[in-house]
Amino acid sequence: MGDMTSVIDAPSPSPLGEPAVDLRGNSRRRWRETRVKVVLLFSVGITLAISVAIIASLLGQSIDFINSIPLDNLWNFDQWAPRIGDFDIATLFVGSLLVTAIAMIIATPLGLGAAIYLSEYASPRVRRTVKPFLEVMAGIPSIVLGFFAIAWIGPEIVQKLFSDASAFSLAAAGIGVGLLVTPLVASVSEDALRAVPLSLREASYGLGARKLTTVTRIIFPAAISGVVAAMILGISRAIGETMVVTLAAGAYGEANFTTNPLDVGMTVTSGIATLASGTDQVAGGAGTAASSAYNSLFFLGLLLFIVTFLLNVVGESFVRRIRERY
């Protein structure tokens, strides 16, 4: 009915030759469209606000932190003990580096191998059965893998292989993180391998190449940017992983500088988590020593944010490259 009246009420033809009938529909419907659009735009604004809030909250307190401590304190290969004012981030950097390296040594062959098998060798039936398992594996909470790392990986793998390893170690944490990252590496590189067009495989077989040659010399090189992306995203995930390291690497609240993966150690992430655990003044942020310890949380967070952000941007650009090519 509303439409009828709007047609009748429509303005008479203007001398400029505008249409006689108002085609925009009735005003109630148009008003609803506008309302919906405003609500939706509000949500979009929130996502932008979150990024601004992350950067603002990290940056503000990081600057306070930098101003509150002597700068040579930040890099002296001594120890990370924020509660007593020792802020050597080299300790945490080396810890993160060791854990990430061990994680990728585990995750690359496992994830890539699984990806090549599922994409090139497995029958559709096997693929359909196995893929959900990998997806479930990706859904295991990291605290669970952290417990597995102390309960099994530490004593049964690390200490069996290296008798001088401590019960908690960066190596055990690294293996745990590696298992956590494996499904991610597998899924991103499988997507890349499956994106390689069938015509390439057919051409290779047509020239008489055997399966092994086709996979290693044709398909793998064609999908290489996707595989690189999988590795970069895996590294980014491993650097950001918190709970496995917090539980399995053993250091709690403070850590000595070490380059030995068999030692107790700490990463940037577990530095944040263990410093925030407990109910002392760090959590409350009172007092001068405590407040630079409290602010150091945000400084570590900022470093972590920058590193993972850069890795993700590079990783994404590699993913886009393979998507554009085929």
Residues 119-158 that bind other proteins (CB under 8 A): 121, 130, 132-137, 139-148, 150-152
Please pick, from the candidates 63, 101, 110, 314, the single residue that binds other proteins as defined by CB under 8 A: 110
Q: Is 1 in the site for other proteins (CB under 8 A)?
A: no
Angle between helices 288-325 and 268-276 (to 10 degrees): 140
Angle between helices 124-138 and 170-195 (to 10 degrees): 140
Q: Is 39 in the site for other proteins (CB under 8 A)?
A: yes
Beta carbon nearer to other proteins, 25 or 77: 25
Q: Which range, of 79-87, 187-195, 239-247, 256-264, touches other proteins by CB under 8 A?
A: 239-247
DSSP alpha helices (H): ranges in 139-169? 142-148, 159-161
Compute the least distance from the CB of residue 93 to other proteins, in Å: 15
Residue in this structure with the two tokens 């405003």, named with its chain if needed: 38
* C-alpha span between 1 and 5 (Å, rounded): 7
Phi, psi of 126 (to 5 degrees): -60, -45
Cβ atoms of residues 249 and 95 within 8 Å: yes
* C-alpha span between 142 and 19 (Å, rounded): 64
- What Rg, from alpha-carbon coordinates, does the chain have? 28
Compute the least distance from the CB of residue 260 to other proteins, in Å: 23
Q: Is 27 in the site for other proteins (CB under 8 A)?
A: no
Q: Which range, of 5-13, 89-97, 254-262, 312-320, touches other proteins by CB under 8 A?
A: 312-320
Compute the least distance from the CB of residue 84 to other proteins, in Å: 21
Cβ atoms of residues 181 and 145 within 8 Å: no
Residue 69 is classified by DSSP as S
Compute the least distance from the CB of residue 139 to other proteins, in Å: 4
Q: Is 241 in the site for other proteins (CB under 8 A)?
A: yes
Please pick, from the candidates 10, 11, 20, 57, the single residue that binds other proteins as defined by CB under 8 A: 57
* C-alpha span between 266 and 248 (Å, rounded): 10
Beta carbon nearer to other proteins, 91 or 142: 142
Beta carbon nearer to other proteins, 8 or 52: 52
Q: Is 233 in the site for other proteins (CB under 8 A)?
A: yes
